[in-house]
Amino acid sequence: MDYPLDASRPLGALRLDGRIAVITGAASGIGRGIAQMFAAVGARVVLSDRNAQGLAETARAIGAAAVAHVAELGTKDAAERLAAFAETIGPIDIWVNGAGIGSANAVSEGNEEAYRRTIAINQDAVFWGCSAAARRMEPRGSGSIINISSIAADKGDRKLAAYSMSKAAVNALTRVLANEVGPAGVRVNAVAPGFIVTEMTVPSDLSAAEREARIAQSVKRAPLPIAGYPEDVAHAALYLASDAGRYVTGQVIRVNGGATMIP
């Protein structure tokens, strides 16, 4: 039996022409990389972040295809306001929960402030973003939700309890929501990066030698002898957002050079 295969436009399936994508955490790093990638293949991008200056820089770099919405995410109201803002442009086709922060505290320290802030941004904001997106996509019968997770969800690195918990929760939420909205034609997936070279991981205030040393150290943690950059995560997100990933849902795509294979 023959099955249909459209080989006439193998790369066309990766286009996002005419689609509206909401991207949180878009002021820098991975979120900015995803926004730029999506805009480059035809999407209108709605950028959100609490960092107004960084958000403006991202929007300026993208140009007319981008609009910005400054917001501190982490509550239902904040997610609903962002969704309502995006809908002034048109129906939401793609929602990327990319906002996140890192924290390094031993469990025995009992740092409640750091714990609650990490959970609020890395976990609560993702939950409410998913909720706002799913509520709008289900009635339309289509859409793609992408959550940015981390390999920390699979490892047990010291002093990363709150961060690792939040990312493990994102993976669980991804699978549950994929089950809930799949029958309506909505897909939900996550991308779990390893060490990605961004301002957060390799600050620009380090000397050139210090930056090179930090990147070199990250390369030693994985089988592939290369460093990871935001565009590597953006390529995975594009696959999941586009028609190329039409049969993929409930998955966590690990983009880490193979680091999760090493204890």
Give the residue numbers annotated as catalytic, written as ranges. 163
Q: Identity (one letter) of the amino acid at 70?
A: V
Where does 37-88 show beta strands of DSSP type E? Answer: 44-49, 66-70
CB 25, CB 100: distance < 8 Å: yes
Whose tokens are 């030693």? That residue is 220
- What's the rounded Cα separation, in Å, for the pair 97 and 4? 33
Residue/partner pairs of 150-153 with CB below 8 Å, 24 or more apart: 150/100, 150/192, 150/193, 150/194, 151/192, 151/193, 151/194, 151/254, 151/256, 151/259, 151/260, 153/192, 153/252
Nearest alpha carbon to residue 155 among 233, 228, 259, 30? 259
CB 80, CB 70: distance < 8 Å: no
- What's the rounded Cα separation, in Å, for the pair 171 and 197? 22
Tokens of 243: 């028609």
